[in-house]
Amino acid sequence: MMTDTILEIGIDYKERLFVIPKTEIFEFIYRDASGVNWDINGQFLYSPKPTEMTYFDWFRQILLATKGEYGCELKITSETNWTNIPNELKNQICG
């Protein structure tokens, strides 16, 4: 299993959770059929705007999708940037 670090986790103006990996490209993540997508221009993974699932659920879904479809485990580091993430959600994500 390969690993990649997460450069940034955020919520964008469309209210989607996004995750920017350091090096890996997940262009075909949609094949996982989990609702997770890849923005080819911005080079980031993103969820739809949450309706039934929470942002935390979507974060876990993104990690599961990259692991399942690509065999890549995404890791948060002390260098990971947080954009528009409430403290409560950050605490959930960091566990």
Spans of all domains in the chain: 2-94
pLDDT in tens, 42-53: 999 999 999 999
For residue 57, what pLDDT is reported? 97
Assess contact for 71 and 65: CB atoms under 8 A.
Answer: no
At 37 the pLDDT is: 97
Query: Does residue 78 carry a pLDDT above 90?
Result: yes
CB 83, CB 11: distance < 8 Å: yes
Radius of gyration of the chain (CA): 12
Q: What is the mean pLDDT of residues 28-45?
A: 94
CATH (residue range 2-94): 2.20.20.40
Q: Looking at residue 1, what is its pLDDT?
A: 85
Neighbour-count burial of 39, counting CB atoms closer than 10 A to its CB (0-12 exposed, 13-18 middle, 19+ buried) = middle
pTM to 2 decimal places: 0.95
| The pLDDT value given to residue 95 | 86
Q: What is 69-88 written as a DSSP string?
A: HH-EEEE--TT-EEES--HH
The values of phi and psi at residue 70, to 5°, are: -120, -10
